[in-house]
Amino acid sequence: MFSVRLRARTKPDQAGKIRCPDRWHETICENGGMGTGTEPASGVERWRKIARRVRVPLGFVVAAIFLVFAHSTWQTLLWSVILVLPGLWLRGYAAGYVKKNAELTRTGPYAYTRNPLYLGSMSLAAGFAVAAGRWWLVVLLLAMFLFIYVPTILSEETYLRTEFAGFNASLACFHA
C-alpha cells in the first residue's frame, strides 16, 4: 500500500495541530487523506498532488515540443490570433481581480466563470496549437489539460470549499 509521509514538511500550529507550510498543501494534509502521519492516500489524491507540482515544468516541456515540431504558416498564425488575444486579455483581466488566499473573488470574470485564469491559459495554448499547424500537438494539449489541469482545478476547489464558507454558495450564481 502506498503511503505519503508529510511529517518532514509539516509543523504544529499554536493549537498543536500539524499543518503544512503553505495553504494549498494544508488542505491536502487536513482534508485529503494525507494528514499528520502516514495515512494511505488514494490514487486520485496522489495524482492531484503530482499534477499541481508538475503542471508548470510540464508546460515548459510541452512548449519546447511545440517549438521543435511546429510547422507554422501565415494562415495558421493568423487563425491563432483569434484564440491568443482573447486568452491574453482574459488572463490580464482576471489577474486584476483575484486576491489569492485572502478572499473569495466573485467579481469581474469570476462572476462568469470559476477559473478565468485557466480558461485564458487554455485559450492561449489552443492558439499556439493552431499556430503550430500539427493536429497531434492539439491532442497533446488536450491530454495535458485533462490529466494535469482538471485534477489541479479540483484540488484548488477542495481548498476553496474548506477555506471559504461561501464557495459552494457562489457556485449557485453559475446558472444556464
pLDDT digits (tens, 9 = 90+) for 137-162: 889 888 988 888 888 888 888 888 88
Q: What is the pTM of this model?
A: 0.67
Contact status, residue 7 vs residue 39, Cβ threshold 8 Å: no
Query: Residue 132 pLDDT more than 50?
Result: yes
Query: Residue 12 pLDDT more than 80?
Result: no
User: Cell for 118?
Assistant: 485557466
| CA–CA gap between residue 91 and residue 123 (Å, rounded) | 10
The residues spanned by each domain of the chain are 1-41, 54-171
